[in-house]
Amino acid sequence: MKKNFADLHIHTNASDGKSNPEEVVRQASEAGLAAISIADHDSVNGIEGALEVSKKYGVEVVPGIELSSELKETEVHMLGYLIDWHDKQFLDLLHIIQGIRMWRAGAMVTKLNNLGINIAFEEVLAEARTGSIGRPHIVRVMLKHGYVKTWDEAFERYLQIGRPAHVGKYEMSPVEAIQTIRSIGGIPVLAHPVFSNIDDKLPELIKEGLRGIEVYHIKHDPTVSKHYHKLARKYGLLITGGSDSHGPEEPIGSVGVPYEYVERLKAEHKHL
């Protein structure tokens, strides 16, 4: 990856990534990236650490977040770029969401236990450490014990919406996620749209303030990326992309966009 590229979707151990913020920035530098965005799930705790070492490694860090929402039992994740991560009201909201995440993880472990998958909640807590606890931490424990062979198997058989061990998250609609991001000065971008499959809802979300779409993603094949690139052009949306890296399985920089897309985000941000 050349120096004029950016990976705008990276997770640290402040949520469900395996690397701490400095390690993430170092890995981005080694990959030759010009910029990255720390976009942890419902957490901003990885941003400060990444910013502190950004000059040391020569990598620009764009403050971000990934908020979870649902629309008629469909998960819709919303990325927020160039957010004010110090906003007190926003931090209070995240504190509430973190509490619900903790309860939810325990409830899912209980459901799994009832299905004969004997993992302990303490193991999940140890996997999450101080990060924003979520299903990936549960999956890692399931994998360690051999209850599933792959990440996808765990979600498809047990943990995604409609499966026997699924438990709902903090109730937030995509519109509420957009409004929340805009309330802290951020730019709302629809994350990995191939998963949510809500193309027909884009005009409505755009009216509510959606400003971009993640065209390039590690789970988007060229045909999917081409489709969302056309939609972005059709609706005048900003284009972003990233590896959605949580660890070595999705290497930082394996998916990226030209740095000019970062400049477009900044230009948009000036007019908010």
Give the pLDDT confidence of 71-124 residue by residue, as tens digits.
887 889 999 999 999 999 999 999 999 999 899 999 999 999 999 999 999 999
Percentage above 70 pLDDT, the chain: 99
Residue 49, token pair as written in the block:
């650490």
SS3 label, residue 160: coil
Q: What is the mean pLDDT of residues 181-198?
A: 97
Alpha-carbon separation of residue 248 from 28, 107, 133, 164, 242 (angstroms): 12, 29, 19, 29, 14
pLDDT of residue 73: 78
**Per CATH, domain 5-85+173-270 is 3.20.20.140:** yes
**Please, which pLDDT band fits residue 266 given cuts at 50, 70 and 90?**
very high
Instruction: State the burial class of residue 178 (Cβ atoms within 10 Å of its Cβ: 0-12, 13-18, 19+).
Output: buried
Which residue intervals of the chain bear CATH 1.10.150?
93-159
190-194 mean pLDDT = 97
pLDDT (mean) for 130-149: 92
What is the rounded distance in angstroms from the CA atom of residue 49 to the CA atom of residue 41? 16
CB under 8 Å to 183, separation ≥6 — which residues? Answer: 87, 89, 90
Query: Is 37 within 8 Å of 145 (Cβ atoms)?
Result: no
Residue range 179-193: mean pLDDT, rounded: 98
Query: Quick check: 62 pLDDT over 60?
Result: yes
Q: What is the pLDDT of residue 1?
A: 46
pLDDT digits (tens, 9 = 90+) for 16-46: 898 999 999 999 999 999 999 999 999 999 9
Give the pLDDT of residue 72. Answer: 83
Looking at the predicted structure, is the pLDDT value of residue 178 above 60?
yes
**pLDDT score of 219 more than 90:** yes
pLDDT at site 237: 98
pTM comes to 0.89
Unique residue bearing structure tokens 């039992």: 73
The whole-number pLDDT of residue 2 equals: 54
Q: Is the pLDDT of residue 54 over 90?
A: yes
Minimal CA–CA distance to 246: which of 5, 4, 33, 14?
A: 14
| Residue, of 264 and 18, whose pLDDT is higher | 264
C-alpha distances (whole Å) from 125 to each of 22, 115, 138, 158, 262 are 22, 20, 9, 19, 35
Q: What residue spans in the chain does CATH classification 3.20.20.140 cover?
A: 5-85+173-270
Q: Which of 39, 40, 33, 84 is nearest to 54 (CA)?
A: 33
- Going by pLDDT thresholds of 50, 70 and 90, the confidence category of residue 129 is confident
Stretch 115-144: mean pLDDT: 92
Q: What is the CATH number of domain 93-159?
A: 1.10.150
Other CB atoms within 10 Å distance of the CB of residue 65: 28
d(C-alpha 216, C-alpha 1), whole Å: 14
